[in-house]
Amino acid sequence: MRDSQNPETTERTDLSNCTVVTEVTVDMILNELANGVNKTQMQNKFAYRDENGTVRPFEKWMIDQIFKDPALRGKKPARKKVLPFVFKGSTTTAAPITPEPINNVPVTTTTMTAQSNGYVEINVEDNEENNNQYNFN
């Protein structure tokens, strides 16, 4: 007889902190993994109602069956690393760098003239007053 079918063991299990679910989704399991909850903790966190309406905790084989889904296969809970000391970083934020606008961009005039021999003559004329005044910062 399995543990879940044994009335002695199921009655002693505290299910007050369990979330009774009727549907489990991949997103729900991924969210639990992101919060660092492992399979054993999920087994203790979730419960279901059996055919008699009795609340029962998830069993190991049920969790294993859930993790056979291709989206969950090989997924592990996130490990949260906690520093063993208090770290006080700087609270000031760096000011964002705003680029200066580019002024005095040289203006050019381009003309294209078709020649009688089938070639095209391209003529580019620079405006002399703004020549070589780029503003690179």
Decide which of 15 and 93 is more confident. Answer: 15
Distance CA 57, CA 51 (A): 14
The model's pTM: 0.49
Residue-wise pLDDT for 94-127, tens only, equals 677 777 776 666 677 777 787 777 787 877 777 6
| Cross-strand bridge partners of residue 55 | 49
What residues contact 10, with CB distance under 8 A and at least 6 apart? 3, 4, 54, 56, 57
Distance CA 88, CA 84 (A): 13
**Apex 54 CA angle, 49 and 58, nearest 5:** 50
Q: What's the token pair of residue 12?
A: 């002693």
Q: What's the one-letter identity of residue 108?
A: T
Pairing label, strands 46-49, 19-20: parallel
Count of C-beta atoms within a 10 Å radius of residue 4: 17
Residue-wise pLDDT for 51-87, tens only, equals 888 888 899 999 999 999 999 988 888 887 788 888 8
Q: How many helices (H) and strands (E) does the chain have?
A: 4, 5
Q: What is the pLDDT of residue 53?
A: 87
Q: Which helix (H) or strand (E) holds 29?
A: helix 26-34
